[in-house]
Structure 1
């Protein structure tokens, strides 16, 4: 079993008062028209615009760098040239709309990420842009994750108010990490005001409330989060933690079992647990968890990379090579080179 306890589980990771946080920078429309000039079809415009976000300035691009530490508004992204997937998507949707392209927000249902930040475990969902392709039924997906996954797209549309609510819930998490609890509480409440049906928003509100010592309010928020989204295991983990701290062990165990039942079908959570077990040198648990992740999502290259690390930690060089070869197989062509040097190094090692 793992030694580490998962304490506060946060949902997806915009504060700007009552104004629209997604208001585009005034320079965006002119820039977008200039970059897409001469492109006749929607697909060509979408591709050129997508490349221009990351192309260096000397090539006429924006030179944006991926940065998941802070959720920026489109204006902040334009200013800083840094953004996470939500910020990039908001800027991209605004750019497409400025030249008459029909663009919507979507959530990639097969991509999520669990990561530990200090004593906190964050669950981050993935937002993309979906643009009409110009022919009936054709849709083009703009995905801003740095590690694009082959065959991973299964998109659910997101209403603008839900994306705005996710923005504010992100900012609440970030403000809490910056030791600004009052501002974090304001952002969390704003998320709920924008979209009262967002389970993530209620969960994060509960986390902020608990850090301020208002446990009764936090419990109510966690329960509302679970009611809004019964498939989200994060509120279960938070309710378990809160109730154990209060000596309500029987209730805590109920939520623990409920949370594990929900999350056992999440391949990314299993991969996260595998990495946690790897860090604790619990090889059998790490192997079990990564195998479960691969069974649930067999075309995810990052899972095979974790599996290779587990094998290497145990001196199983041949098995590590096999895992890396699978990671390379399921990566996009322009991402496969990242595995070549690792494979060459391992193949030159003598078996333990």
Structure 2
């Protein structure tokens, strides 16, 4: 689960050395005393930073039955450092927070960092999330810095990382932003707004925090303040496509079509790597009968996320509209293959329907 091999970091952006104060018990990054005692015991005999790190990793990921903490990856929610300790589960953000806290507890200089070229889009319920991949960095001059990566398969997919150091304020903002989205997905509007505000309290210049606050406000029908939040997000990061898309939707839904179109044009230049933007445009073109545009857009979406069942279903609809029945069936079969088991039956029925149009039989 863990890769701590030395890595030559391309384009590493440093920050000034920081002096860290131990978080207070109510802080989500507070390391419980029993966790600190466990970590000190596991690493106490190691003579160097490198060996301390290796002993720490072994202790964290070794099975509990063998005396380790038995940490496992779990992306269902973003846990505090204390919850990681008690539950033994964490996503990459929580695991990075725990690891950095553990390193600092034993006197190792550790930084939060972000692997820029691994960011990706994911849909959770009705919310599309742009997920950043965070890692922990141990400065080791004059040798190569050490990167602790808790989702090493991403390195296999993207190759060498371009890593930037994150100030603690920005990392904390991402932590609370994550939790705000989780609350929003659960329908907890009050909790979502609280976490979004905590994100901005940690880093008022976080475009991510302002965008998520805008989504929360829009969901609560406070559209004027949502618009203000989206505009603030765009001012802070003109390359972030999320607030651009959200602003376009808000304006279009309130009848301000001309203004919305300006953000559509802006989105075309900024959101080229957003598969859900292309899928949205494919759906729009299909409804309007522009099948050539629909085909182009859904191909762009699938180029980025080739195994997304919803995209494959949309591809099938586009192909069906063009009269390509065999192509529609192939897209549905792919969608069925990658769909959750509970969803597979609905693809079977759609395939049967098209096979019926052809007068053939379904192959299972």
**How does the TM-score come out when normalised to structure 1?**
0.72
Task: Tell me, yes or no, if the aligned pair for 1:115 and 1:272 is still in contact at 8 Å.
Answer: no
In structure 2, C-alpha distance between the alignment counterparts of 1:276 and 1:258, rounded to whole Å: 14
Residue equivalent to 1:53: 60
Using the size of structure 2 for normalisation, the TM-score is 0.69
- Tell me the residue number matched to 2:239: 231
Which has the larger Rg? Answer: 2
Q: Does 1:217 align with 2:225?
A: yes
| C-alpha deviation, 1:19, in angstroms | 4.0
| Residues in 2 aligned to 1:47 and 1:96: alpha-carbon distance in whole angstroms | 11
In 2, Cα distance between equivalents of 1:276 and 1:45: 52
CA distance in 1, matches of 2:306, 2:125: 25
- Identify which of structures 1 and 2 has the higher relative contact order when contacts are C-alpha pairs closer than 8 Å and 6+ apart: 1
Q: Structure 2 residue aligned with 1:181, among 180, 189, 198? A: 189
Answer yes or no: is 1:254 the counterpart of 2:262: yes
Alignment partner of 1:94 out of 101, 108, 122: 101
- After the TM superposition, which residues 1-352 of structure 1 pair with which residues of structure 2 at under 5 Å, given as runs? 19-133=26-140, 135-145=141-151, 147-150=153-156, 151-264=159-272, 266=273, 269-270=274-275, 285-289=297-301, 291=303, 293=304
2:289 alignment counterpart: none
CA distance in 1, matches of 2:26, 2:96: 19
Structure 1 match to 2:316: none
Secondary structure, aligned partner of 1:157 = strand
Q: State the secondary structure of the residue aligned to 2:78.
A: coil
Residue deviations 1:212-261 (CA, integer Å, cap 9, x gap): 11000000000000111111000001001100101111111211221231
- 1:11 equivalent in structure 2: none
TM-superposition CA deviations, 1:101-133 (whole Å, max 9, x none): 110000110111211122211111111100123
Does the Cα contact within 8 Å between 1:43 and 1:140 map onto a contact in 2?
Answer: no
Tell me if structure 2 keeps the 8 A contact 1:203–1:222.
yes
Relative distance call for 1:164 and 1:139 in structure 2 (3 A) is same
Provide the aligned length of Structure 1 versus Structure 2. 287
Q: Summarize the Cα distance change of 1:223–1:149 in structure 2 as closer, same or farther, 3 Å threshold.
A: same
Maintained 8 Å contact 1:101/1:132: no
Structure 2: 5+ residue stretches without partners = 1-22, 287-293, 313-325, 335-364
* Root-mean-square deviation (Å): 3.5
Contact 2:118 2:154 in 1 (8 A): no
Cα distance in 2, alignment partners of residues 47 and 275 from structure 1: 46
Indicate how the Cα distance of structure 1 residues 290 and 145 shifts in structure 2: closer, same or farther if over 3 A, else same. Answer: same
1:127–1:223 CA distance, 2 compared to 1 (3 A): same
4+ residue runs over 6 A deviation: 274-277, 303-306
Give 1:66 shift. Answer: 1.2
Q: Which residue of 1 aligns with 2:348?
A: none
Bigger shift: residues 187-196 or 137-146? 137-146
